[in-house]
């Protein structure tokens, strides 16, 4: 499983909500896979400047492709208006052509991030027999590349936000209720951290 994310989000509140949730999800995925089959990277430009990736694209086993505006959070799935397009290769008459097209998109996108051609990426992936090993082999120390993303440790309030989903409720609720929960959690965390 390969995830490419921006290093950080564009706003403080969004970074708290999305960054906290992302840190928790990364921990869960690393624990589930033992870390050997999961990688999360952020793209950088030639000078090491982080590139902000806002695209929402998912490719699963070169059999399924989804692209659109939906984020993988409760707000996006239940409150915001989103539009996504999905292509599934279940149609056996066109399955081979669709899988080839999806694989080509995956190769082009990863090649672009690694500053190589799609053909070179495809060749290295075939040689390595692993998407993870292909990316690791093609990553460079300097230049446009993918850099492993290591989220910073969460403080008590961020942990609460990530676990409780206080700012990402399962269903739309008045924001006042969510802010009251957050204020209460912040007060509990502050009291706990100021104890001798």
Q: Tell me the per-residue pLDDT of 135-181, one tens digit each, with 9 for 90 and over.
A: 999 998 778 999 998 876 666 655 665 555 555 555 555 555 666 67
Across the chain, mean pLDDT equals: 78
Nearest to 102 by CA among 57, 146, 168, 47: 57
Question: 56-60 and 64-68: which strand pairing?
Answer: antiparallel
Contact (CB, 8 A) for 67 and 55: yes
Per-residue pLDDT tens digits for 107-127: 999 999 999 999 999 999 999
Record the pTM: 0.71
Of 52, 65, 74, 43, give the one whose Cα is nearest residue 147: 43
Query: CB-based burial of residue 192 (10 Å sphere; 0-12 exposed, 13-18 middle, 19+ buried)?
Result: exposed
């Amino acid at each position: 499983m390969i995830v490419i994310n921006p290093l950080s989000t564009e706003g403080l509140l969004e970074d708290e909500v999305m960054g906290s949730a992302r840190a928790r999800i990364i921990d869960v995925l690393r624990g589930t896979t033992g870390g050997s089959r999961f990688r999360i990277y952020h793209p950088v430009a030639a000078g090491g400047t982080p590139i902000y990736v806002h695209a929402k694209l998912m490719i699963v086993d070169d059999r399924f492709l989804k692209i659109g505006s939906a984020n993988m959070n409760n707000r996006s799935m239940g409150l915001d208006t989103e539009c996504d397009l999905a292509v599934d290769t279940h149609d056996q008459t066109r399955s081979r052509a669709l899988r080839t097209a999806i694989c080509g998109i995956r190769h082009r996108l990863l090649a672009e991030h690694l500053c190589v051609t799609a053909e070179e990426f495809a060749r290295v992936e075939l040689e390595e027999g692993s998407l993870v090993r292909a990316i690791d082999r093609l990553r460079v120390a300097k230049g446009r590349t993918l850099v492993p993303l290591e989220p910073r440790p969460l403080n008590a309030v961020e942990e609460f936000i990530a676990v409780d989903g206080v700012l990402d409720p399962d269903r739309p609720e008045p924001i006042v209720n969510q802010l009251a929960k957050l204020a209460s959690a912040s007060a509990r965390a502050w009291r706990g951290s100021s104890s001798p």
